[in-house]
Amino acid sequence: MAASKVMPRKAHRSSVRGGEFRFIATVLVPTTIFYVLFRLYPLAYAFYMSLHDWKLLRVQQTFVGLKNYQTILNDPLFIKVVGNTFYFAIAATVLGTIVALYLAILINPIERGSTVLRLLYFLPVMTSTIAIATVWLWLYQTRFGLFNALLTMIGLPRIPWLQSPDWAMPSIILMSVWAGVGFTMIIFLAGLRGIPRSFYEAAEIDGATTLQQVRYITIPLLAPVTAFVVVTGLIGGFNVFQQVFLMTRGGPLDSTRTLALHIYDYAFLRLFMGTAASMAFVMFALVIAMTFVQLRIQRTEWEF
């Protein structure tokens, strides 16, 4: 009798485990195949290309080892391009984070009409980059642009926004912040809604001003959200391509040439795929390093 009761239980367990295994296999196998074919294999093949003197449409590709990496790291233009990319990523991320947090703090207390305000600020995020760049090209136009018209009205000289090496990158950063601040603001609003109202009520009872509440309650409790915004902003900043390609093509005097645009030029205009692949891996390493450093700093601040 005991054996007859134990055996069905074992059989039931084995059938349940078999069903779980089949379910896991059904879910994981297609996902694994997808990532191997469309993620890992292209990544490994790009690294393989970076080790060759690989030119598109050429039959024979010569193995050169790390020569491509040595060449680009000794190229003054590549160093300048890396500096431009750092400049854009850091400036756009910092400025966009500050503006988005400020707007989120202003909109959060509003009850009636807040949905319309969120929609208005989020509209540029849903708009095509080509359309945004076209409009801002007219705004930045030296003779007839709106910005220079406003400057002349108050007695200031015209600014060659996209024609000056000193003003071109700040102009693109300003446009990028305007286009993406709505998305970051929505993230901060979600974080603000997660802060208990009782914290602010206790601070008001203790006589804390609005600025003190923001400094000692809002900003510390939004630290995880801020870390997410900063990390994703830096990654997006390092991948900037469309704004630069549409507005300046890297000029004037390579002052707005970024890594993504530089890789595009080498890969699809000069057809040096090996050099472009090595640049892409240097860019990948820089993004990973910056993300790691940012997360370490932010984690230390949380622990403090």
Low-confidence ranges of the chain (pLDDT < 50): 1-7, 302-304
* CA gap 62, 274 in Å, rounded: 10
| pLDDT at residue 14, rounded to an integer | 61
Same-domain pairing of 24 and 125? no
Give the chain's mean pLDDT: 88
| pLDDT at residue 303, rounded to an integer | 47
Same-domain pairing of 119 and 268? yes
Domain count, the chain: 2
For residues 89 and 237, the answer to whether their CB atoms sit within 8 Å is yes
- Whether the link from the prior residue into 160 is cis, omega within 30° of 0, is no
Helix (H) or strand (E) holding 196: none
Same-domain pairing of 21 and 134? no
Of 207, 237, 203, 205, which Cα lies nearest the Cα of 220?
Answer: 203
Q: Which CATH number goes with the domain that contains 183?
A: 1.10.3720.10
| pLDDT at residue 30, rounded to an integer | 84
| pLDDT at residue 15, rounded to an integer | 60
Same-domain pairing of 185 and 264? yes
Same-domain pairing of 245 and 188? yes
Parent domain of 252 = 67-303
The answer to the question of residue 25 being in a domain is yes
The answer to the question of residue 192 being in a domain is yes
| pLDDT at residue 11, rounded to an integer | 56
The answer to the question of residue 200 being in a domain is yes
- Using DSSP's 3-state secondary structure scheme, residue 27 falls into helix
Q: What is the pLDDT of residues 142-162, one digit of tens each?
A: 988 999 999 999 999 999 999
* CA gap 254, 262 in Å, rounded: 10
Tokens 């069905």 identify what position? 8
